[in-house]
Structure 1
Amino acid sequence: MRYIDKTTRFFIADPSVNPFEQSVTHQELLEAYRTFIVSSSGWRKVFAASGNEEDAGENVNPADLYMTALAAIAISRTLGTAKEVLIGLDARPTGPALADAAIRTFLASGLRVRYIFIASAPEIMADSALYPCDAFFYISASHNPIGHNGFKIGRDGGVLSATEVADIISTFQDLVADPQSIQLVKSLAVDEGEYRKVLDSVEKNKQIALDRYTTLLRITATQSEKPKEIEHQLSLLKRQLLDHPVGIVGELNGSARCVSADKTFLASLGIETRFFNDTCRTIVHPIVPEGENLEQCRSLLEQAYKENPIFQLGYVPDNDGDRGNIVYITPSTGSAHILGAQDLFALVAAVELTLTRRTEKNLAIAVNGPTSLMIEHISKALQVHVARAEVGEANVVQLAGSLRDRGYVVRILGEGSNGGNITHPSKVRDPMNTLVSLLKLLSDRTLFDEIARLVGMGEGVPMDMEHALSMLPTRTITGSFSREAIMNINTTDHAVLKSAYESEFAKAWEERKNELSARFGIHGWIEQQTEHIACKVGVGPDFRSAKAKGGLKILFLDAHKQPTDFIWMRGSQTEPVFRILVDALGTDQERHDYLLAWQRALVKAADDRASSQ
């Protein structure tokens, strides 16, 4: 019997068809694993049967289904029996086949399964936060092309930390290396009746997940778990929005947010909305919500504004919907613009830190290494402590937890370099939380003036995004997903590469220091290295682990030893690329481009040097 989802009309599963009846060899399994990137941030590869990352087909090769089963076995062995796993997936076509393999394996391993089919990442994580399950298994490849897919493993509303997931990864890799694992998967005994019960409950469990997600959105928006206080705060926001209406355009690009809580939640606030490409798998442009991929939303918002000037904001999520980058209207020209990821994060941070400071003391913000120095400027004005962790959502969330253990109040955190904020008590980025912060800013005269005073603008500034963004420190920053931010290198040993980089930088500094001083006011530098939740200041291997997989940043200083700019680099843990970034003072594009060209040359020279050793 084929099960079909009533909302999307997509195929869910057929419990009578065993995906493991097709035999695979151990060599085929090893070949499938060869392109699998496994890290605490997520497990990813191209699962489309053709091997083409742009293939939107549903078919998955048998070896990849076996590998999915081994991942589920590894999780099962870590959890033990009689435990419950929550399973969901983003809108990628290969998701149902991978879920079928995983569910069968979990059931055969003695675990209970709750399946919610297509759900946004914040939705499944909210469910796991508000209802006790032992783990969630989310099938997604986030912003990667449609032929990719992968797994995120977590519990209590967030992904597992690197330490927590290490045992699962080790067990999984041992299983892949063992030729007997093929027979282990083939021998899995699944009660078809039990599987049918799981599938029969999908519709009910999906609605429950949506209800829990909406509950968490309301809690996060109001910073309260008390029903009366939640209603009071949301009623206040709705009244503000009646006086200062804001319309929102959502270009969902066929993502999991098409079947999430966006429409109902925004409607509950009295927001007028227009949604486009809001049918799952209606993917009309590349998935990562950056640059030209926001162009359609920009155009749609501009048109909506011409028809009704309340439309001021638009958003585009990635496929799992945990990230939503923003476009906005500039009223002085009537044109719409794409809001940079770093500017968005900084603006939301300014809003939430300003609000939290009214009632709390000892505030901190947790960010990743390449988050712009805008955060330091904003935090200094608000007397907020800034702490930095390695790239990776799990690292920033864990750092925030560590700060709370030390007595800090951490309302806002996230990876400014990637866009999207994590607003406590959520443990994942969420465009709904981002939009709520912007709605508060654009509808609250007192809040807008409070932030304006901090930067010396005075009161009475027009409440729109154009003037809100003018309150931010001016920086010129490399886009995280721009072509200039990505390099391909030959060196696989990052410890050797970083040592070579440090040598190349020291030599180049001596050659350029007079020019840097005269041209840019740069008089010194320090090196920062981030791994896990630690940020260490110092040069050399004593300040990084043996694997040296973390980020390395050169922070430039002025004559008063205050930070002005930085150059940053790190090998991606989820993609086969090397990322670099420049955060430059002011609006001088030449300054940014000079530092970027220098950084690329340094990495290239270090790679050549390391490769020749």
Structure 2
Amino acid sequence: MFGTSGVRGRFGDTITPEFAASLGHALAACNYGRIVIGRDARTTSPLLADAASAALRGAGVDVVRAGRVSTPSLARGVSLTNADAGLMVTASHNPPTDNGFKLWSPSGQAFNESRRDAVEGALEAGDEITAPWDAVGRETTTPDLTESHVNNLCDAVDIDGDVSVVVDIGNGMGGATVDALLELGCEVQTLNATPDGRFPGRPSEPTAETCSTLCSVVEATDADLGIAHDGDADRMMAVDETGSFIGGDELLALFGREVVADGERVAAPLNTSLLVDDELASQGAPLTRTKVGDVFVAEATQDDDVVFGGEPSGAWIWPDETLCPDGPLAACKLVELVEQRGSLATQRSDLASYPLRRTSLEVEQKRDIMDGVSSALLKQYDATAVSTLDGVRVEHDDGWFLVRASGTQPLIRLTAEARSEKQADSLLETARDVVEETERK
């Protein structure tokens, strides 16, 4: 039920007020005695937060209401409010029809597998805990978690303010980025700055296609860079001063090579480009590959010699600051990088470029199909060329491909990379063929 980034789905189908209440009872059954609840700007988020809060209090759990906040603000706020867990009502970068829940531990890290399994078990048991009338939980409100977050951001970077930034909030919860950059003295222009869960300005997920307006504005002005967030601001993507969208693998390489020293490591998932390996190798640093999902990257960053973790989708983790993907922190770190190192376009110019292909196939039985794909590829290739850490990754002499089930949607994601355009296309077709052949059986 819970994927690598919580549970989400279409409101009224998988996500309902009844489910929110059941989740509240499950958390109570797992002995979480104090929970802080935040929500994004979606139209259905207030009622889902209300339903969860009512069930929790009815089970004797104290609830701290954080109101409308970003996911990283809420994740940071678990320890700040002395809560045992954080519950964020959000569907992140999904469309406005969807909603969902993310769970956070006091360390600021998303619930790990054992915590998720315990909550799922309690949900399946379906027990509804009802406290005596004189032992129901209390509901209080917390001081502004966004203000605290902004203070953390300003302390985390060294910016003199001589940078011009266009920030596309995407009608979501990324206002902390604007507040922090203004506090640091930057010149800031905003796009889609009003929180609106219908996402009228652009789709919630920040991609090259959805950020075309941001690219145009940055290109037409003297801005040094552009920043874009998703609906709950755990993601950050960017545009250089020429108006060109920066790929997630490029950002990972730029952030990684800036922070890493000889012998230190960076953590990133299996679907990360070879260009990141190249850039880190130039610094004497290896890349540690993880399962796909920010929770797995966060777990890897807890090793003493791992100084940064990221995902090409836009999740960035500096473990010395926080174990949650923090879009506003990433935005401030990127502005700091521009001020200290100069033009983003110039910084990108020396990055290697390998043809990388990504696509998704909509399927009905993704787990069954993945079982068949795994069996087929293990028979087809030498065992040393196949990794089943997360999905199935197959290494070739001149490239690789990855077949992996989405953690939150009925999709199988395909990724292929090679030294040439032709080989990248060929590897992607190989991956597609094995999925489609398995689906026909």
Task: Provide the TM-score with structure 1 as the length reference.
Answer: 0.67
Query: CA shift at 1:93, angstroms?
Result: 0.8
Q: 2:25 aligns with which of 69, 73, 91?
A: 73
Q: Which residue in the other structure is 2:272 paired with?
A: 371
- Assess if the C-alpha contact under 8 Å between 2:154 and 2:183 holds in 1: no
- Once the two structures are superposed, residues 375-399 of structure 1 have per-residue CA deviations (whole angstroms, 9 ceiling, x without a partner) of 2112211111321111111111112
Distance, in Å, in 2 between the alignment partners of 1:89 and 1:434 is 21
Distance, in Å, in 2 between the alignment partners of 1:492 and 1:85 is 33
Quick one: structure 1 residues 188 and 144, their matched pair in 2 at CA, closer, same or farther if it must change by over 3 Å?
Answer: farther
The answer as to 2:212 corresponding to 1:295 is: yes
Letter in 1 for 2:191: F
Letter in 1 for 2:100: G
Quick one: structure 1 residues 487 and 590, their matched pair in 2 at CA, closer, same or farther if it must change by over 3 Å?
Answer: farther
The answer as to 2:309 corresponding to 1:423 is: no
The answer as to 2:119 corresponding to 1:168 is: yes
Q: Which residue in the other structure is 1:551 paired with?
A: 391
Distance, in Å, in 2 between the alignment partners of 1:551 and 1:392 is 12
Q: Which residue in the other structure is 1:7 paired with?
A: none
Quick one: structure 1 residues 134 and 46, their matched pair in 2 at CA, closer, same or farther if it must change by over 3 Å?
Answer: same
- Once the two structures are superposed, residues 391-432 of structure 1 have per-residue CA deviations (whole angstroms, 9 ceiling, x without a partner) of 11111111222x22xxx2x2210223x123111222122232
Higher normalized contact order (CA 8 Å, seq sep 6+, divided by chain length) = 2
Q: Which residue in the other structure is 2:171 paired with?
A: 254
- Assess if the C-alpha contact under 8 Å between 1:344 and 1:420 holds in 2: no
Distance, in Å, in 2 between the alignment partners of 1:211 and 1:167 is 33
Distance, in Å, in 2 between the alignment partners of 1:350 and 1:161 is 28
Distance, in Å, in 2 between the alignment partners of 1:526 and 1:216 is 44
- Assess if the C-alpha contact under 8 Å between 1:364 and 1:386 holds in 2: yes
The answer as to 2:225 corresponding to 1:313 is: yes
Q: 2:426 aligns with which of 590, 594, 606?
A: 594
1:555-570 equivalence runs, <5 A: 555-557=395-397, 564-570=398-404
The answer as to 2:9 corresponding to 1:94 is: no
Q: What SS is found at the alignment partner of 2:180?
A: helix
Q: 2:91 aligns with which of 105, 117, 141?
A: 141
Letter in 2 for 1:350: R
- Once the two structures are superposed, residues 254-301 of structure 1 have per-residue CA deviations (whole angstroms, 9 ceiling, x without a partner) of 10224xx22221012211011121111161222111131111211222
Distance, in Å, in 2 between the alignment partners of 1:475 and 1:129 is 42
- Assess if the C-alpha contact under 8 Å between 1:569 and 1:581 holds in 2: yes
Q: Which residue in the other structure is 2:363 paired with?
A: 488
Query: CA shift at 1:569, angstroms?
Result: 1.0
Q: Which residue in the other structure is 1:541 paired with?
A: none
Q: 1:433 aligns with which of 329, 344, 351?
A: 329
More helix by share: 1
Letter in 2 for 1:145: P
Distance, in Å, in 2 between the alignment partners of 1:399 and 1:124 is 22
Query: CA shift at 1:325, angstroms?
Result: 1.2
Q: Which residue in the other structure is 1:42 paired with?
A: 6
Query: CA shift at 1:347, angstroms?
Result: 1.4
- Assess if the C-alpha contact under 8 Å between 1:117 and 1:206 holds in 2: no
Distance, in Å, in 2 between the alignment partners of 1:249 and 1:134 is 37
Query: CA shift at 1:219, angstroms?
Result: 4.6
CA radius of gyration, larger in: 1
Distance, in Å, in 1 between the alignment partners of 2:334 and 2:51 is 41
Distance, in Å, in 1 between the alignment partners of 2:45 and 2:192 is 20
Distance, in Å, in 2 between the alignment partners of 1:263 and 1:189 is 46
1:337-356 equivalence runs, <5 A: 337-353=244-260
- Assess if the C-alpha contact under 8 Å between 2:165 and 2:187 holds in 1: yes
- Once the two structures are superposed, residues 310-343 of structure 1 have per-residue CA deviations (whole angstroms, 9 ceiling, x without a partner) of x02112211111002112222xxxxx11111211
Letter in 2 for 1:392: G
Distance, in Å, in 2 between the alignment partners of 1:206 and 1:130 is 10
Letter in 2 for 1:596: L
The answer as to 2:203 corresponding to 1:286 is: yes
Distance, in Å, in 2 between the alignment partners of 1:527 and 1:74 is 38
Distance, in Å, in 2 between the alignment partners of 1:343 and 1:604 is 31
Q: 1:583 aligns with which of 417, 420, 425?
A: 417
**Number of matched residues?**
436
Distance, in Å, in 1 between the alignment partners of 2:133 and 2:85 is 20
Q: Which residue in the other structure is 1:413 paired with?
A: 309
Q: Which residue in the other structure is 1:382 paired with?
A: 283
1:88-167 equivalence runs, <5 A: 88-155=38-105, 156-167=107-118
- Assess if the C-alpha contact under 8 Å between 1:86 and 1:114 holds in 2: yes
Query: CA shift at 1:487, angstroms?
Result: 4.5
Task: Provide the TM-score with structure 2 as the length reference.
Answer: 0.91
Q: What SS is found at the alignment partner of 2:292?
A: coil
Distance, in Å, in 2 between the alignment partners of 1:431 and 1:45 is 22
- Once the two structures are superposed, residues 85-112 of structure 1 have per-residue CA deviations (whole angstroms, 9 ceiling, x without a partner) of 1100111111001011111111111111
Quick one: structure 1 residues 495 and 486, their matched pair in 2 at CA, closer, same or farther if it must change by over 3 Å?
Answer: closer
- Assess if the C-alpha contact under 8 Å between 1:89 and 1:117 holds in 2: yes
Query: CA shift at 1:500, angstroms?
Result: 2.0
- Assess if the C-alpha contact under 8 Å between 2:36 and 2:63 holds in 1: yes
Distance, in Å, in 2 between the alignment partners of 1:419 and 1:486 is 21
Distance, in Å, in 2 between the alignment partners of 1:131 and 1:399 is 26
Q: Which residue in the other structure is 1:396 paired with?
A: 297
- Assess if the C-alpha contact under 8 Å between 1:122 and 1:429 holds in 2: yes
Quick one: structure 1 residues 491 and 350, their matched pair in 2 at CA, closer, same or farther if it must change by over 3 Å?
Answer: closer
The answer as to 2:438 corresponding to 1:526 is: no
Tell me the C-alpha RMSD between the 2 structures.
2.6
Query: CA shift at 1:584, angstroms?
Result: 2.4
Distance, in Å, in 2 between the alignment partners of 1:350 and 1:144 is 31
Q: Write out the 4+ residue segments of structure 1 that deviate beyond 6 Å after TM superposition.
A: 187-191
Query: CA shift at 1:144, angstroms?
Result: 1.0
